[in-house]
């Protein structure tokens, strides 16, 4: 019975300590809540009268300065991006002109190759049609037709 009584007393002691801690925490929360309620009432009063406190004005001005600084930073970034975009556009235009010039040059080369291929075919035809220099023992160079490439 003594051990049970001692355990009961110990549990009661722990319960009392927990209750005190809970009451202390509740009192602290009530105090903080009352302080916030007073601050809300004060700010509502300032809003109703249209006269915010000097500290509130300072905070408003500081917040506005932060927003202005951020806006300035964003404007500078925008200007930089626009400049980069213009430069990229300039480079792209230049590259597109180069591409067009290269394509035109390629078309010209293909046409010249095609023309030279026809000339080679014509030359082969002429070589087959005319006797070769080696085949003619008495022919001179002046009498042999020549094909020249242009």
Residue 150, helix vs strand vs coil: coil
**Which pLDDT score, from 0 to 100, does residue 136 have?**
53
**Which pLDDT score, from 0 to 100, does residue 150 have?**
45
**Which pLDDT score, from 0 to 100, does residue 118 have?**
64
The reply to whether 127 falls in a domain is no
**Which pLDDT score, from 0 to 100, does residue 134 have?**
54
The reply to whether 116 falls in a domain is no
The reply to whether 18 falls in a domain is yes
**Which pLDDT score, from 0 to 100, does residue 143 have?**
46
The reply to whether 34 falls in a domain is yes
The secondary structure of the chain, three-state, reads: CHHHHHHHHHHHHHHHHHHHHHHHHHHHHHHHHHHHHHHHHHHHHHHHHCCCCHHHHHHHHHHHHHHHHHHHHHHHHHHHHHHHHHHHHHHHHHHHHHHHHHHHHHHHHHHHHHHHHHHHHHHHHHHHHCCCCCCCCCCCHHHCCCCCCC
- Decide if 109 contacts 101 (C-beta within 8 A): no
Could you tell me the pTM of the whole model? 0.37
Boundaries of domain holding 8: 1-51
The reply to whether 68 falls in a domain is no
The reply to whether 27 falls in a domain is yes
The reply to whether 144 falls in a domain is no
pLDDT tens per residue across all 150 residues of the chain: 778 888 888 999 999 999 999 999 999 999 999 999 999 998 888 777 767 677 778 888 899 999 999 999 999 999 999 999 999 999 999 999 999 999 999 998 888 877 777 677 777 776 777 765 555 555 444 444 445 444
The reply to whether 60 falls in a domain is no
**Which pLDDT score, from 0 to 100, does residue 135 have?**
54
Count structural domains, the chain: 1
Q: ∠ CA 132-137-140 to the nearest 5 degrees?
A: 75
């Amino acid at each position: 019975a003594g051990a049970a009584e001692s355990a009961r007393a110990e549990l009661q002691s722990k319960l009392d300590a927990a209750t005190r801690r809970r009451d202390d925490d509740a009192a602290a929360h009530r105090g903080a809540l009352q302080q916030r309620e007073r601050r809300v009432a004060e700010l509502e009063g300032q809003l109703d009268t249209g006269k915010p406190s000097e500290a509130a004005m300072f905070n408003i001005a500081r917040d506005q300065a932060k927003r202005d600084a951020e806006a300035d930073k964003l404007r500078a970034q925008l200007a930089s991006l626009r400049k980069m975009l213009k430069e990229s556009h300039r480079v792209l235009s230049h590259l597109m002109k180069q591409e067009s010039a290269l394509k035109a040059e390629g078309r010209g080369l293909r046409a010249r190759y095609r023309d030279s291929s026809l000339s080679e075919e014509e030359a082969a035809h002429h070589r087959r049609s005319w006797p070769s220099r080696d085949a003619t023992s008495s022919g001179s160079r002046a009498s042999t037709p020549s094909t020249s490439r242009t």
